[in-house]
């Protein structure tokens, strides 16, 4: 082969290889959408893929009902109430305006029916009825809502009712709403399936789920719409593609079609340009250490929660672990105690830091083990 042809071939191969390697890190800026505030996160890693005014306080409208539903499911899980409980409908619940499931005053409706009326039909009447059933009154239930908000680290949220009825002291942020959505999906996976129910019938009245993305995008399986004049049109969407789940929060658009378009843009952007992988499983050895003067010589170190990492597509193979552990560990060792640090990096960027903890307890060894290790340490 002539030298000129060789040079052309080498140049082509170099250009091809460098392009293939570099291309995965080339991603566009997040889409700008017409909304007062929005946030796109990966559900498992919590990585933020796009945001605008994510910490700006906004009126949540019926997105409030996510917290109402969360508390109902929480009470069911802990045995405080059951799906079969019959709830007597008060006049206050019956008189609620706005979106309703059309329950009748003084009738008895099961918690399951009310919960579906709340989630699918966004019933204000169902929301008040459930609040009264759990706490005795809506005002007492609101206290529970704010206690749960604090527990879930919704640091910029304050509730003043169970429905999202406009109130100057009733507010949240896109970031807090994303955290609440994560909690619903993680804490109640069985009942989360109710958020993708497309229609529900009660009292011979069938109403569709107001989340039109359930019909437009097969990846979407929740969560909730909201609308008031002050709040605008809002939508929280969760969608799953392969092993990746995204949560999109859009608030303050000017019409229903705008919240749909904004949510689709954000979700498409996330799925198209990013990937999420499980890097380390919880309670599985990541590294091990020599233990001195203990019943055992080796200690397994790991993390307490599954660790997911979200990166631009094609870069997962470049993720590396930097592990730092204590120079010497002596028994006794307590399970769960930190003995090192895991730093996950991509190039020169640190992605996440986790404590490396003991995966088991190790007691002190006998006299001969201690003496043997003492002598070895002397010579080290």
**CA–CA separation, 309 vs 275, rounded Å?**
8
Estimate to the nearest angstrom the gap between the alpha carbon of 305 and the chain centroid: 14
Cβ-contact 138, 161 below 8 angstroms: yes
**CA–CA separation, 93 vs 126, rounded Å?**
7
122: annotated active-site residue = yes
65: annotated active-site residue = yes
**CA–CA separation, 27 vs 14, rounded Å?**
22
**For residue 133, what are its two tokens?**
């059933």
End-to-end CA distance of the chain: 61
Cβ-contact 338, 356 below 8 angstroms: yes
Q: Which of 65, 116, 224, 293 is catalytic?
A: 65
**For residue 354, what are its two tokens?**
């986790």
CA atoms within 13 A on the CB side of 310: 20
**CA–CA separation, 226 vs 224, rounded Å?**
7
Q: Which of 99, 122, 181, 238 is catalytic?
A: 122
372: annotated active-site residue = no
Cβ-contact 327, 344 below 8 angstroms: no
25: exposed, middle or buried (C-beta count within 10 Å: 0-12, 13-18, 19+)?
middle
Estimate to the nearest angstrom the gap between the alpha carbon of 262 and the chain centroid: 20
Q: Which of 45, 62, 99, 238 is catalytic?
A: 62
Three-state DSSP at 287 gives strand
State the DSSP code for 284.
Answer: S
Q: At 159, phi and psi to the nearest 5?
A: -100, 145
Rg from Cα positions in the chain: 27
Catalytic residues, by residue number, are 62, 65, 122
């Amino acid at each position: 082969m002539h030298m000129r042809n060789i040079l052309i071939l080498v140049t082509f191969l170099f250009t091809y290889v460098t392009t293939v390697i570099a291309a995965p890190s080339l991603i566009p800026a997040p889409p700008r959408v017409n909304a007062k505030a929005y946030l796109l996160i990966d559900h498992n890693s919590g990585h933020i893929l796009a945001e605008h005014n994510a910490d700006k306080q906004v009126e949540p409208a019926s997105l409030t009902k996510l917290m109402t539903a969360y508390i109902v499911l929480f009470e069911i899980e802990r045995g405080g109430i059951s799906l079969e409980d019959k709830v007597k409908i008060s006049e206050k619940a019956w008189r609620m305006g706005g979106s309703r499931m059309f329950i009748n005053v003084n009738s008895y409706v099961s918690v399951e029916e009310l919960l579906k009326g709340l989630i699918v039909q966004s019933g204000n009447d169902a929301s008040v009825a459930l609040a009264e059933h759990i706490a005795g009154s809506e005002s007492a239930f609101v206290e529970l809502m704010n206690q749960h908000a604090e527990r879930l680290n919704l640091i910029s949220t304050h509730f003043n009712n169970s429905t999202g009825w406009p109130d100057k002291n009733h507010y949240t942020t896109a970031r807090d709403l994303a955290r609440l959505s994560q909690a619903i999906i993680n804490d109640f996976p069985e009942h989360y399936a109710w958020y993708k129910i497309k229609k529900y019938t009660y009292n011979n009245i069938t109403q569709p789920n107001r989340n039109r993305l359930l019909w437009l995008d097969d990846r979407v399986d929740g969560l909730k719409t909201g609308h008031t004049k002050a709040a605008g049109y809002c939508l929280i969407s969760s969608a799953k593609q392969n092993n990746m789940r995204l949560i999109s929060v859009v608030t303050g658009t000017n019409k229903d079609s705008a919240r749909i378009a904004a949510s689709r843009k954000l979700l498409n952007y996330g799925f198209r340009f990013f990937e999420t992988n499980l890097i380390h499983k919880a309670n599985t050895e990541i590294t091990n250490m020599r233990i001195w003067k203990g019943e055992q010589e080796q200690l397994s170190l790991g993390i307490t929660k599954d660790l997911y990492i979200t990166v631009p597509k094609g870069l997962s193979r470049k993720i590396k672990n930097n592990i730092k552990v204590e120079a010497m560990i002596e028994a006794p060792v307590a399970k769960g105690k930190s003995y090192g640090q895991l730093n996950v990096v991509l190039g020169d960027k640190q992605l996440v830091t986790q404590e490396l903890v003991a995966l088991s307890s190790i007691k002190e060894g006998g006299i001969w083990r201690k003496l043997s290790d003492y002598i070895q340490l002397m010579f080290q």
